[in-house]
Amino acid sequence: MRASWSDYFLEMSLLVATRSTCPRRQVGAVLVRDQRVIATGYNGAPHGQPHCTEVGCLMENGHCVRTIHAELNALLQCARYGIATQGVDLYCTDMPCRYCARALVQAGVERIFYLRPYESPETEQLTAERGLQLIQLDRPARP
């Protein structure tokens, strides 16, 4: 059975998440334009800095702040290599937090597909106000 595009890219986000270096939450993100992957990202420390898996999580208010979130890492990859993000779709293992949602709005992302919910009323409000589609998907069925 051939996978749908949504299942295909969501599965990719799950694979990308396996590169995460924060044991608290493994998140993967895939930016897509015209059914083609333009960038991926996972949550991990900035380049050259120690990872949570090496030195532990850096906790503030119940959140690890050592890592850059997967969605932001994917956007930063586009910035680094000069890839436009206007009109792209995001496939992500988790619903973005409010900070990532702001960055996604600013970058021109049109649709956000995600698997796992994340308690963020700010994300839901911002995406609704800006006309971004926030779409929760079911885990793809594997043959």
CA atoms within 13 A on the CB side of 106: 11
Instruction: Indicate the annotated binding residues.
Output: 69, 97, 100
- Catalytic residues, by residue number, are 71
Positions at the binding site for Zn(2+): 69, 97, 100
Pairing relation of β-strands 133-136 and 89-94?
Answer: unpaired
Residue 85's contacts (CB-CB under 8 Å, 6 or more residues apart) are 31, 38, 75, 78, 107, 108, 109
Q: Residues 71, 41: contact at Cβ < 8 Å?
A: yes
